[in-house]
Amino acid sequence: MKEFKVAFLGFGNVGTGTYKIIKENGSKIFQREGINITVKKILVRNVNKKRPVEVEPDLLTDNIKEIIEDPEIAVVAEFIGGEEPAREYILSALNNKKTVVTANKEVMARHWEELENAAIRNGCGLYYEASVAGGIPIIKVVRESLQGNNITEIMGIINGTTNYILTKMSEEERKFEDVLAEAQKLGYAEPDPTSDVEGYDAMYKLSILSTLAFHTRVRISDVYREGITNITPEDIAFGKELGYTLKLLAIAKKHGNKIEARVHPTFISADHPLATVRDAYNAIFIKGDAVGNLMLYGRGAGDLPTGSAVVSDIVNACLHQSKHMYSTLCNGDWKADEVLFDNNWETEFFIRMTVIDKPGVLAKIAGIFGKYGVSISSVIQKGRNSIHVPIIFVTHKAKEMSIKKAINEIKNEDVVIKIGNVIRVEH
Ligand code: HSE
């Protein structure tokens, strides 16, 4: 049986989960695959800290050199997260001829070219299944199972924290701040929730997924991003009346040579398969010209689900030492010469505003929408017990820029007290 020594960089939640899986299921996995994998070293900040799993003390080190310079270590699994020093350590591991497995979406989304080029130069592998949607094997599916397709669309719930928050806001009619505080207490949201609630986490993941799906480097600067912090229970309630469910969606579409990639709160019909994805679950919906519609569903975070993806990568890294698979962009061209990144996409819009309740207001606002070529499909106006009333417009398909221009003009009208939220609607 071929022996492989693996080292971990970092030993937080996912590192511990990966270690547990190797301890509990390792002997069976390795017997089936005909290899033997041993964890030789684990890089930690404090070797004396108490850990949730039992680890032999001599496995732990706080010196990266003990890993990078150990010729026996064939695979390095990175769990540090964030940009630096993760990028630097991954690069040194690759330059020392070690295959790298990473769960790090930020480092992949930002530094993919540099890391993959280093892997190719050194004849090693770079595996990143755990970087997108935790336990859902989406990278493998896009890379290895959908080659026969022109993928034209990806629409996913790829951030569990925001899905948990929006589920609670919707089902329990609660405010964002209340649910966020509860999610932080339960460990579903980080003490600093910015990356999740402002959509950065989903932006990194969409950059990785759409790059693979469209065989074109989609950089994070090509991804439009908007978080959920301004969403109110009123938006969700009005959406429900219209038959919609609110989700933070990561959307990427390809039309000819145009690509649009965006992360934002989105209304979808309550009967869309993604609308049934509740709590911290993730799901990714893909359209291919051959396969048609496909959806993968599962846990997008957590020690064991994400560890499941990492263990699979480690096993594959060991099995394919002589022939690693790289992205389809590795032939040197990471530029996207023939592709236009489109920020003027077309979709339907839900627009909530507060206006003065008097005759002619609706006609005035509808007139401005009309001036910019935006057609209205429905309007809801509530209440007559105050002079200020909420009014909701839902448009037919319209261009993003036309909506922006119309709203800019509408907000200056005397009868308009406030523009609330503008939420895109997808089908
Ligand atoms: N914080 C992420 C989420 C999981 O809420 O889905 C790690 O990417």
At residue 330, the pLDDT reads 72
Q: For 257-270, how does the pLDDT look when each residue is reduced to its tens digit (9 = 90+)?
A: 999 999 999 999 99
Ligand 1 atom 2, closest CA: 159
At residue 325, the pLDDT reads 84
Taking the model in full, what pTM does it have?
Answer: 0.96
Would you say residue 163 has pLDDT above 90? yes
Would you say residue 118 has pLDDT above 80? yes
CA of 167 to the centre of ligand 1 (A): 15
What whole-number percentage of the chain has pLDDT above 90?
Answer: 93
Would you say residue 204 has pLDDT above 90? yes
> What is 152-171 written as a DSSP string?
EEEEEE--HHHHHHHHHHHH
Which of 155, 107, 92 minimizes the C-alpha distance to 295?
A: 155
Q: Exposed, middle or buried, 82 (CB in 10 Å: 0-12/13-18/19+)?
A: exposed
Q: For 319-367, how does the pLDDT look when each residue is reduced to its tens digit (9 = 90+)?
A: 998 888 888 787 656 666 688 999 999 999 999 999 999 899 999 999 9
Asked if 403 contacts 247 with a C-beta cutoff of 8 angstroms, the reply is no
Q: Alpha helices, DSSP H only, in 256-352?
A: 303-319
23 is catalytic: no
CA of 200 to the centre of ligand 1 (A): 10
Backbone angles phi, psi at 65, to 5 degrees: -60, -30
At residue 237, the pLDDT reads 96
At residue 332, the pLDDT reads 59
Domains of the chain: 2-134+305-319 (3.40.50.720), 138-300 (3.30.360.10), 346-426 (3.30.70.260)
What whole-number percentage of the chain has pLDDT above 70?
Answer: 98
Ligand 1 atom 4, closest CA: 301
Would you say residue 200 has pLDDT above 80? yes
CA distance 279 to 145: 28
- Cβ neighbours around 265 below 10 Å, total: 25
- Test site for ligand 1: of 180, 201, 303, most ligand atoms within 8 A of the Cβ: 201
- Label residue 108 by pLDDT band (50, 70, 90): very high
CA of 205, closest atom in ligand 1? 8
CA of 201, closest atom in ligand 1? 8
CA of 282, closest atom in ligand 1? 6
Tokens 């939640």 — which residue?
13
Q: For 123-140, how does the pLDDT look when each residue is reduced to its tens digit (9 = 90+)?
A: 999 999 999 999 999 999
CA of 163, closest atom in ligand 1? 5
At residue 323, the pLDDT reads 84
CA of 83 to the centre of ligand 1 (A): 16
Q: Which of 205, 247, 253, 254 is catalytic?
A: 205
Helix (H, G, I), strand (E, B) or coil at 26: helix
Pocket of ligand 1 from Cβ distances under 6 Å: 159-161, 196, 201, 300-301
Beta sheet of 73-78, edge-to-edge order: 60-61, 35-43, 2-9, 73-78, 99-102, 126-127
**Quick one: which H or E segment has residue 300?**
none
Mean pLDDT along residues 258-286: 97
Q: For 8-58, how does the pLDDT look when each residue is reduced to its tens digit (9 = 90+)?
A: 999 999 999 999 999 999 999 999 999 999 999 999 999 999 999 999 999
At residue 329, the pLDDT reads 80
CA of 159, closest atom in ligand 1? 6
Mean pLDDT along residues 159-173: 98
CA of 201 to the centre of ligand 1 (A): 7
- Test site for ligand 1: of 107, 128, 161, 204, most ligand atoms within 8 A of the Cβ: 161
- Label residue 1 by pLDDT band (50, 70, 90): confident
CA of 12 to the centre of ligand 1 (A): 14
At residue 338, the pLDDT reads 82
CA of 298 to the centre of ligand 1 (A): 13
Q: For 367-421, how does the pLDDT look when each residue is reduced to its tens digit (9 = 90+)?
A: 999 999 999 999 998 876 678 999 999 999 999 999 999 999 999 999 999 999 9
* Upper half-sphere CA count for residue 408 (Cβ side, 13 Å): 8
